[in-house]
Chains A and B, each alone.
Chain A
Amino acid sequence: MNWINNYVRPRINSIFSRREVPENLWSKCSECGTMLFHRELSENLNVCTQCQHHMGISPRQRFEGLFDGGIFVEVEVPAPINDPLYFRDHKKYPDRLKAAQKITRETEAMLVAEGHIGRTPIVAAAQDFSFMGGSMGMYVGNAIIAAAERAVNLKRPLILFSAAGGARMQEGILSLMQMPRSTVAIQMLKEASLPYIVVLTHPTTGGVTASYAMLGDIHIAEPNALICFAGPRVIEQTIREKLPEGFQRAEYLLDHGMLDMVVSRLKMRDELVKIVRLLLGLSPAVMGDLPSPVPQDHGEEQTISPSPE
């Protein structure tokens, strides 16, 4: 992979040094409107440096920030039947899938990986809101089952980052059936006495909230994330009244006893390392940016200086 570093890096650097910055290298914070330099934003895990607003983040980018040294190995997810119902509205479902794959450059709406966080082995799964709204179809169900099975085989905890508008309507009843299917997966973890930690990110709604996202041993949410069963608009139409400010947001759910804590994305990794190590009965974590583990284990207590990057 060295040739990539040698070739691509200088090219990116040269773009930055030329000052002719193309527009798409800047992002506008959707909350405060501040223009943020792309690299700066991505180094800050897509959290606005001005107002701390948490913007969407792809599973891959999240994993790069989560795992030690940004190194993780993807867990293979069995491919489900393509378009089981021959569903079409204005577009054919396979065409919608292809368009989402092109935009995200991912296979589907969930990424599963194994690796280490703070030198603690884990399995992680993250839902991709930019892939058809993160919607839960058969692939997402298979991904959760694959993640749970992998965690049980390796005797590791599972950390799941949820983000979804709900079920994948184009898979009809089969998307609904992912509620019981994912619940079976979570039961496998519980029976193996392995921690299952859910990080609820913006937005987590519908059948996703009403299944695996609410069955964690510990529920953590990112600030201001919308977390609900029925969305605010549906409720407003049903009860014909305006909902209060902050309704169904992470802090509101914390107040109503549905979450253990609300944690900034910038502190999430350290918090997860601490919690996982507590639950597994391991010694306290060595904090700071750690390189990925080397093949020879030098023991947990040995300090390793952070990589220069």
Chain B
Amino acid sequence: MTHYLEFEKPLAEIEGKAEELRAMARQNEEMDVVSEAEALDKKAAEMLIDLYKNLTPWRKCQVARHPERPHCKDYIHALFTDYTTLAGDRNFADDDAVMGGIARFEDKPVVVIGHEKGNDTKSRIERNFGMARPEGYRKAIRLMELADKFGMPVITLVDTPGAYPGKGAEERGQSEAIARSTEKCLQIGVPLVSVVIGEGGSGGAVAFATANRVAMLEHSIYSVISPEGCASILWKDTEKMREAAEALRLTAQDLKKLGVNDLIINEPQGGAHRDCNLAQVSVKAAISGLLKELSGKSPKVLINDRRKRFLDIGSSGLTA
């Protein structure tokens, strides 16, 4: 069963009707509904194109958070071979909100790190909805150091509502862990490529996405604060999330104009969740291309490239 978003309701109706017709035809072989069902399919396909042609920023947020959207785990299994989980921060715990390990990407050894949100109630709770605690960032730091030592490129997959706002997380130095992870991103002498696959939530995302190259999926978002949070602070009204999403310029398209991402990865029609395989093929091709741009560069060049990339951000704004 497809999970439909609020703005997809009319589409759900048509696709539902087509499905009903086919179910009836299966029970009664004399019924000829093929042409009718095909007409509905065609209408649905047109509507899908129409709906996704100009998604508003708030709708993009909903697509980016779609429960069936391919997550970090799906990409890791589809894009890498020999994936070997490495666990723990060697200090306090292992954080399941962050996946990480060594693997092969197109046969070459790499380190892959990403936020994992989970895909059902049980795994969502285990993964803490992709909200990392200090241990998650410290595991990432460890893995980046490993990559640096053995000359392996690092690929990070960003998908988090933000760092976890919890008591223990604060006690164990959430701020320090994020700051050190960002710092580590800037220090390693190997290529670092980051893909925002869903939600790039504030500092929790920056800690992984301070990369040489940042790619964003077509309907992913990246923001300093959630639209709901921004609405409640600036509009003093949580229902103003549409306005806030608009004002924050959090879409891949606006962010590219600001130099925050270098590449937009096209999604299948109707979003990555409608064709996970196709989404994975596109993400793989993008990572492959970005790694090629960075291959053969010395550690010093890579470090300076990363620094310059971030120092230059903000040198031009949007046009009105």
Contacts and interface: CB of A to CB of B under 8 A. Distances in A.
Interface SS of chain B: helix
A230 B167 CA distance: 9
B293 interface: no
Given A84-B317, A258-B173, A210 B203 contact: yes
Contact of A177 (B176, B186, B207, B314): B314
Contacts of B180: 214-215
B158 to A, nearest CB: 12
A127 interface: no
A172 B248 contact: yes
B279 interface: no
Contacts of A183: 179, 182-183, 186, 210
Given A86-B320, A172-B250, A184 B186 contact: yes
Contacts of B258: 84, 173-174
Interface string B159-191: 000010111011111111011101101110000
Contacts of B170: 228-230, 235, 247-248
A172 B317 contact: no
A179 interface: yes
A89 B260 contact: no
A294 interface: no
Contact of B311 (A83, A181, A247, A257): A181
B75 interface: no
A122 B165 CA distance: 36
B174 A235 contact: no
Interface residues of B, number: 52
A138 B165 contact: no
Contacts of B163: 210, 229-230
B224 A81 contact: no
Contacts of A184: 186, 307, 310-311
B177 to A, nearest CB: 8
Contacts of B185: 180
B105 interface: no
Nearest to B234: A89
B250 A179 contact: no
Contact of B167 (A88, A186, A243): A243
A235 B314 CA distance: 32
A180 B182 contact: yes
Contact of B314 (A83, A89, A138, A247): A138
B307 A229 contact: no
A14 B170 CA distance: 52
B255 interface: yes
B248 A174 contact: no
Interface in B225-269: 225, 230, 233-235, 243-244, 247-250, 255, 258, 260
Interface string A169-197: 11111111101110110110000000000
Contact of A81 (B169, B247, B248, B314): B314
Nearest to A185: B311
B176 A258 contact: yes
Chain A to chain B: the 6 pairs with minimum beta-carbon distance, closest first: A84-B317, A230-B165, A209-B175, A210-B178, A176-B224, A89-B234
Given A177-B310, A214-B176, 15 more contacts: A86-B318, A87-B247, A89-B243, A89-B244, A169-B233, A169-B234, A179-B210, A181-B311, A187-B187, A213-B179, A229-B169, A235-B170, A248-B170, A258-B175, A258-B176
25 contacts: A81-B314, A81-B317, A83-B317, A89-B234, A138-B314, A172-B223, A173-B224, A174-B258, A174-B313, A175-B224, A177-B260, A179-B210, A187-B187, A210-B178, A211-B179, A212-B179, A213-B179, A214-B179, A228-B170, A230-B170, A230-B174, A238-B165, A243-B167, A248-B170, A257-B173
Interface of A: 80-81, 83-90, 138, 141, 145, 167, 169-177, 179-181, 183-184, 186-187, 206-207, 209-215, 227-230, 234-235, 238-239, 241, 243, 247-248, 256-258
